[in-house]
Chains A and B, each alone.
Chain A
Amino acid sequence: MKIRLMILLLFAGCLFANPMLSGSKIKEERKCVINASILSPVVAQLSIIQKDLRKEIVVRSRSSERSQTGVIFLVMGMVFLYGVIHAIGPGHGKIIAISYFMGEKANLLKGIFFGFVFSLIHSTSALILFLSMKAFAIVAPFVGASKYEILMQKFSFYLVAAIGAYMLIKALNDIRSNSVEQDTVNGVILPFTLGLVPCPGTLLFLAFFSSIGLFWFGILSVFVIALGMAVSLSIISIIVIIFRDKVVNLIGSKTRGVFSSLLSISSAIFLIIIGLLLGYSL
C-alpha cells in the first residue's frame, strides 16, 4: 500500500515536470534578456532559505518532542514561513496576477481576495490530488493519471488566455462606448483558474507528514502553507494595484483614459500570449 501510494505520488510528480520522474525532454535553454546578475542572488537566497526551513521542519517533525504544543507551533510557524517564501519565488501565477492588476483598476480588497483565493485553491487542489491518489492506489491502477493532470494544467493556462481575450474585448468595448465597466467576474475566475494547478510543494509536505505517521499534521500544513502564500501574493497584488494607481494619476487628466485603456489592452494581450505559451509548452 505504502509503496503503491508513493509510486503514484511519484507519477503524479510528472505533472509538475519533475525531471527525476518525467521522461519528456524539457524545452530548455530558452534564453531571454533578463540579466542574471540582478536576479540570481535573490533566487538563490530564496532557495537556500526554503531548503533550510524544510530541513528544520523534517528534523523537528521526526524528533521525540514532536507532540509537544511548543514544537507543533514551531513547526507550523516554519511551514507558514515556507509558504510566504515559496510564493515569493518563481511561479505561482504572479506574472498573471501582476498583468491582471496592471490592466484593471481594482481596490486593495480585490488584491487580497486574489491572493487568498488562489492560495487556498492551489493548496486544496494538492490535498484533493493527494487524497484521490491515496484512494486510487487502493482501487485501481494509476496509469494515465498524470496525463489527465497535464490536461488539467493545459486547460488552466488556456483558460487564462481566454480570460485575456475577454479582457481585450471588454477594453475595446470600453473605448468604443467611452466608459469604463468595472470587472467583477475575472477577479474571481482568474485566481480560481490558476489555483486549479496543484502546488507540488504542498504535495511534498503532505506526503512527508503522511510517511512519518503525522497525517493530520499534513492536512494542517496544507492550510498553513496556503496562508503563507496568501500573505505574499496579497502583498504583491496590493503593490501592483497601488503602483498602477500612482502611474495612472501621474498622467494628465486628458490622456488618463487613453493610457488606462492602453494598459488594459496590453495586459489583456499579455495574458493571451502567456496563457497560450504556457498551455502549448506543456
Chain B
Amino acid sequence: MGRVILILLLLSLLFAHPHSFIDYETTICFDDEGVSGVQTTWYFDEMFSSFVEAYDVDGDRIFSDAEVKVLKAEAFDNLKEHNYFSKFYIDGKIFYPTFIKDFKPFFVEDKIVYSFFVPCHVQATAMPKEMIVMFFDPTYYIHVDPVKKEAVSFENDHNYSVVVNREKRKQDAYYQNVIVPAGFRVRFSKK
C-alpha cells in the first residue's frame, strides 16, 4: 500500500499528460561526405489526425500546395521553438536542429503523417563516428515513440559501414526526469 501511495504521490507531481501520440521512423541519409541528414516521418494518432484533417479543405485526402502552406504555418512551424522534437548527439556533443526541409503532410488510412528532412552534416572518416538520434516532446503533451517495426533505415549508405543500436536514454530523461526516450546510436565509417 505504501508503495502504491508513493507512486501516486510522485505521479501527481506532474502537471500534464500525453494528449496526442506520434509514432516515428527515420532514415539516416548519406552523401559523398558522410551523413547529410535525417529523413523523418511522424504518424499521428487517429484522434489528433481528425483535427489536422480539417486542413484538407476540399476533402480529397491530398494536401494541395495551398493547404500545406496553411497547415505548416499553423500546425508545424511552431515546433521550431522545440527543435522539431529532435535531439541528436554527434560524437558526444548535443545538436539541436534549428531548421528542416521538404515538409510534406499526407494521409495513411485514418492517420495524418508529417514527413520532413532534418539537415545534419557529419563527415565520415575511416575512424568510426557516432551519432545518436532521438525524437521526443519535452512538454510531454505528445507521447513520441519509434514505430514498433524497424524505426531506422539508411539511404545511400553503400560506401559506409553502418551499425545501429536502439537504447533507452536514461541520461536524456525529460519531463521531471520521468519519461525516458528511445534513442538510436548510429556508428559509421568509410569502407
B-contacting residues of A (Cβ < 8 Å)? 2-3, 5-7, 9-10, 13, 16-26, 28-40, 42-44, 47, 50-51, 54-55, 57-59, 62, 86, 88-92, 94-95, 98, 200-201, 204-205, 207-208, 211-212, 236, 239-240, 243, 278
Contacts and interface: CB of A to CB of B under 8 A. Distances in A.
B50 A25 contact: no
A25 B45 contact: no
Contacts of A208: 47, 50
A236 B75 CA distance: 36
A201 B19 contact: yes
Given A19-B82, A19-B137, A32 B13 contact: yes
Given A90-B15, A208-B50, A211-B54, A21 B176 contact: no
18 contacts: A10-B75, A19-B78, A21-B75, A21-B78, A23-B81, A24-B81, A28-B174, A39-B10, A43-B179, A47-B21, A51-B45, A57-B47, A58-B46, A88-B11, A90-B12, A94-B11, A211-B51, A239-B4
Contacts of B25: none
B82 A36 contact: no
Contacts of A28: 138-139, 174
Q: Which 10 pairs across A and B sit closest by C-beta, in order of nearness?
A: A6-B54, A90-B14, A94-B12, A58-B46, A95-B12, A28-B138, A89-B17, A90-B17, A36-B173, A47-B143
- Most chain B CB inside 10 Å of its own CB: which residue of A18, A20, A239, A278: A20
Interface of B: 4-5, 7-21, 45-48, 50-51, 53-55, 57, 74-76, 78-79, 81-82, 85, 110, 137-143, 170, 173-174, 176-180
B11 A89 contact: yes
Given A35-B177, A212-B50, 14 more contacts: A2-B54, A20-B142, A25-B82, A32-B176, A34-B10, A34-B13, A42-B11, A43-B11, A51-B21, A51-B45, A54-B47, A89-B17, A211-B54, A239-B4
Contacts of B14: 43, 90-91
Nearest to B78: A23
Given A18-B19, A19-B82, A37-B170, A205 B51 contact: no
Contacts of A38: 7, 10
Nearest to A92: B17
Nearest to A210: B50
B11 A26 contact: no
Contacts of B85: 19
A125 B76 CA distance: 27
B179 A40 contact: yes
Contacts of A239: 4-5, 8
Given A3-B54, A19-B142, A208-B50, A44 B179 contact: yes
- Most chain A CB inside 10 Å of its own CB: which residue of B11, B76, B173, B179: B11
Contacts of A54: 21, 45-47
Contact of B51 (A9, A23, A31, A278): A9
A215 B54 CA distance: 16
A40 B173 contact: yes
Nearest to B85: A19
Nearest to B48: A204
- Most chain B CB inside 10 Å of its own CB: which residue of A13, A33, A36, A54: A36
A207 B19 CA distance: 13
Contacts of B79: 19-20
A29 B7 CA distance: 21
A23 to B, nearest CB: 5
A30 B173 CA distance: 11
A241 B141 CA distance: 30
Contacts of B137: 19
Nearest to B9: A98
A155 to B, nearest CB: 16
A34 B177 contact: yes
Contacts of A40: 173, 178-180
Contacts of A59: 46
Contact of A278 (B15, B46, B76, B142): B15
B173 to A, nearest CB: 4
Contacts of A13: 51
A5 B143 CA distance: 25
